[in-house]
Structure 1
Amino acid sequence: MRRLIYSMNVTLDGYIAAPGDDIGWGVPSAELHQWFNDRARGIGVSLYGRKLWEVMSAHWPTADQKPGTAPVEVEFARIWQRTPKVVFSTTLDEVSGNARLVTDDAVAEITRLKAEDGAPMEIGGATLAGAAMRAGLIDEFQVVTHPVLVGGGTPFFSTLDSWVNLSLVETRTFPDDVTLSRYEPRR
């Protein structure tokens, strides 16, 4: 059975995007970017909601070909391009690259994918991750907290139907006072 990991950059006040979907506050240091690269190398499938897919697919398919791109970003682009992706959307008609589109029951498809053997899956996008959280499908939360307060926007955690008790399994500090906290649900 695959593990499902929810990992995103988040502000100290709990948002993955500021008002207007602004993510400019979350620019990673080279060390943090390398951590994301190392982590991404072990991912078997990436699951995206529509908004995050649009952000990622607008940049990473060609980021490794742009002059002046930092080596750590070139490395991430190539990892991202190779990783199979599943995009969940009821408004998109198609996706590109090695992605496939799912337009119906996201929880059913994530449950089916989790039942397969293989490397861990990652999930991104607040709405999609919220549905997976409410269904009890997330095995690990990787909260990469940036020391900035934005006052509103898209929250990392969505409204839940019941409490989810977590156990802290790792903490780490990166440059620019960014911290990683890894949690697993207590089952």
Structure 2
Amino acid sequence: MRKLTFGMNVSLDGYVAAPGGDIDWSVPSDELFQWWSDRVAATGLALYGRKMWETMSSYWPTADQQPGVTPAEVEFARRWEDMPKLVFSSTTRTVDWNTRLATGDAVAEISRLKTEDGGPMDIGGATLAAAAMRAGLIDEYVLATAPVLVGGGKPFFTALDNWVDLNLVETREFPDGVVLTRYETRR
């Protein structure tokens, strides 16, 4: 059975984006950026909602052509393009860069994908992750918590009907005071 992980940069007060979708506060240090890049390289399939897909696909396919691009960004862009991706959307019509589109029930499709053979899956985007979270499909949570309070916006966690018990499996501090924590779901 494939493992499903939800991980994102998050503010100390629990948001992945501030009001208006602002994520300027979440720019990672070089070390944290490399950690995320290595994670992308190890991902068997990335699951994206429409908004996360639009954010990622609007930048990474041409990142290597941007002024001042770093070698780490070029590497991440290559890894991101190579990584298999599945976008869940009822409005998006076309996808590129090793990506396919799903227009049906996301929870049913994610449940099906978890039973297949293959590498680990990462889910990106708080809205899609919320549906998987409520359905009890997430096996691991990764929070790169930045020392900033944004006061509102898009929360990392959704409202749940039941508690989810977790085991802490890793804690790591990065420059700029970011603390990464990984938790596995107790089953």
Question: TM-score, normalised to structure 2's length?
Answer: 0.97
**Deviates further, 26-35 or 86-95:** 86-95
| Residues matched between the structures, number | 187
AA aligned to 1:143 is L
Structure 1 equivalent of residue 50 of structure 2: 50
The 8 Å contact of residues 82 and 97 in structure 2, kept in 1 or not, is answered as no
The residue aligned with 1:21 is: 21
- State the distance in 1 between where 2:67 and 2:125 align: 29
CA apart distance, 1:39: 1.3
Partner of 2:181: 181
* SS state at 2:68 partner: coil
Instruction: Give the distance between the partners of 2:65 and 2:84, measured in 1 at CA.
Output: 20
Q: CA RMSD in A?
A: 0.9
Flag structure 2 segments of 5+ consecutive residues without an equivalent. Answer: none
CA drift of 1:66 comes to: 2.5
- Render the CA deviation track for 1:1-58: whole Å, top value 9, x for unaligned: 1110101000000000000011110001100011111111110110001111110000
Q: Does 1:110 align with 2:110?
A: yes
| Amino-acid identity (%) | 67
Deviations 1:151-175 (A, max 9, x none): 0000000111111111111100000
CA–CA separation in structure 2 for the residues paired with 1:174 and 1:62:
28
Q: Secondary structure at the match of 1:13?
A: coil
C-alpha separation in 2, matches of 1:86 and 1:161: 27
Tell me, in whole angstroms, the C-alpha distance in 1 between the residues paired with 2:151 and 2:67.
36
Structure-1 residue corresponding to 2:137 = 137
Q: CA offset at residue 67 of structure 1? A: 3.6
Code of the aligned partner of 1:31? E
Letter in 2 for 1:121: M
CA displacement at 1:83 relative to structure 2:
0.4
Q: Which contiguous aligned blocks of 4+ residues in structure 1 show a shift greater than 3 angstroms?
A: none
For 1:114 and 1:72, the matched residues in 2 are separated by: 31
TM-score, structure 1 as length reference? 0.97
Cα distance in 2 for residues equivalent to 1:24 and 1:172: 22
Within 5 A, what are the aligned runs for 1:82-121? 82-121=82-121
Distance 2:25 2:67 in 1: 24
Whole-angstrom CA distance in 2 between matches of 1:66 and 1:152: 31
In structure 2, distance between residues paired with 1:22 and 1:132: 24
**What residue identity is the alignment partner of 1:88?**
F
Structure 1 unaligned runs (5+)?
none
Cα separation, 1, equivalents of 2:64 and 2:9: 22
For the residues of structure 2 that align with 1:114 and 1:61, how far apart are their CA atoms? 28
